[in-house]
Amino acid sequence: METQNIYLPYIMQIEKVSEDAPFVKTFRLKFINPEDAESFSFKTGQFGEYSVAGVGESTFCIASSPTRKGYIECTFRKAGRVTTALSDLEEGNTIGFRGPYGNVFPIDEWKGKNLLFIAGGIALPPMRSVIWNCLDLRENFKDITILYGAKSVADLVYKHELREWDERPDVKLVTTVDPGGETHDWTGEVGFVPTILDKMAPKAENTIAIVCGPPIMIKYTFPILEKCGFADEMVYTTLENRMKCGFGKCGRCNVGKTYVCKDGPVFSLKQLKQMPDEY
């Protein structure tokens, strides 16, 4: 795409739609223009602006791993105007995509370390990109543990991938649902993510923790990690703030002087603690 216009999206075709949970869908998107597919690259943690012409743009992460070439995936919950319009689309439809924007998970720095992924609800998608990225480079890391929880069994996204991770001998997966969210045949844990994490008592030594979830989960998860001995610079998360442009101009996403779109969305807990409580 030859353009000087930073607002002009790529046109992408929806190759595959999967329904991952009630109101939650995943699109596999392919570039219409082969040159765009050739020149496009991204790194794990980055996000984009997805648009339905006539409705508008919406911000979310790229949920696929950069190791899986030729397409990108996004997962969204039908919540606002744009995600409702996206939700109505079918395979073969075309949408707009701008990106990639933002910084990345520093996975090169994590070589030789244990990884502990902690996710809640619809926050697994941003983490799925980095999980698959690390699994595709499995030899670079030591133990990989994934703790994932949702309100109910139905709300767990990527169920087939959870099964795949569960069956892998080189991944330890722990799934949990909030009390009352379990079904009669549920074999996972029952309890909030921080509670289960506390029970797991993960070893902090040589371990990076990556936490994505609703604010309330994050709030109660950090102290447990601290209790387990995780240093602030060993804990990472991604922030989501309302955005329009994605590149530091529209003026919405800043937390103090920190722009989530440019300086984030990935932050260490150390960085987060230096930021004002404005997110």
Partner 1 sequence: MERKLLTKDSYRSLITKLIGQNYQVVAPVKKDTMIDFLKISSFDEITEDYIVTVSSAKTVAFPRNEKLFDYEKQNKKLTQQDYDFDSIPQSVLIGVRPCDAFGFHSLSSIFCWDSIDKIYTTRLERTTIIGLSCNKSDDYCFCTSTKGSPGSTAGSDILLTKMTDGNYIVEIVTEKGAKLVADFSDLFTADGGVDKESLLAKVAANFNVDDVLAKINSKFEDEAFWTEQAMRCIGCGACAYVCPTCACFDIQDESHGGKGHRVRCWESCGLSLFTLHTSGHNPRENQGQRWRQRLMHKFSYMPDRLNTIGCVGCGRCSRACPVDMNIAEHCMSIIEN
Q: Which residues are at the interface with partner 1 (CB under 8 A)?
A: 3-9, 11, 51, 53-57, 79-80, 83, 90, 92-96, 215, 240-242, 244-245, 247-257, 259, 262, 276, 278-279
Beta-carbon contacts of residue 268 (< 8 Å; ≥ 6 apart): 232, 233, 234, 235, 236
Dig out the tokens for 214 from the structure: 């609703």
Q: Is there a contact between 55 and 87 (Cβ–Cβ < 8 Å)? A: no
Q: Which is nearer to partner 1, 47 or 141 (CB)?
A: 47
Query: What is d(CA 191, CA 173) in angstroms, rounded to the nearest whole number?
Result: 15
Q: Least distance (Å) from partner 1 to the CB of residue 146?
A: 24
Q: Least distance (Å) from partner 1 to the CB of residue 268?
A: 20
Q: Least distance (Å) from partner 1 to the CB of residue 248?
A: 5
Q: Which is nearer to partner 1, 56 or 191 (CB)?
A: 56
Q: Which is nearer to partner 1, 141 or 259 (CB)?
A: 259
Q: Least distance (Å) from partner 1 to the CB of residue 151?
A: 14
Q: Least distance (Å) from partner 1 to the CB of residue 251?
A: 3
Cβ-based neighbour number of residue 223 at 10 Å: 11
Q: Is there a contact between 150 and 156 (Cβ–Cβ < 8 Å)? A: yes
Cβ-based neighbour number of residue 181 at 10 Å: 17
- DSSP helix/strand/coil, 238: strand
Q: Which residues pair with residue 118 across a beta bridge?
A: 147, 211
Q: Which is nearer to partner 1, 123 or 225 (CB)?
A: 123
Query: What is d(CA 170, CA 107) in angstroms, rounded to the nearest whole number?
Result: 18
Please report how many Cα atoms fall inside a 13 Å half-sphere around the Cα of residue 55, on the Cβ side.
18
Q: Which is nearer to partner 1, 168 or 249 (CB)?
A: 249
Q: Which is nearer to partner 1, 95 or 146 (CB)?
A: 95
68: left (phi over 0), alpha (psi -120 to 50) or beta: beta
Q: Which is nearer to partner 1, 65 or 238 (CB)?
A: 238
Amino acid at 238: T
Q: Is there a contact between 243 and 155 (Cβ–Cβ < 8 Å)? A: no
Where is 195: in which H helix or E strand?
Answer: helix 193-200
Q: Least distance (Å) from partner 1 to the CB of residue 87?
A: 13
Q: Least distance (Å) from partner 1 to the CB of residue 245?
A: 7
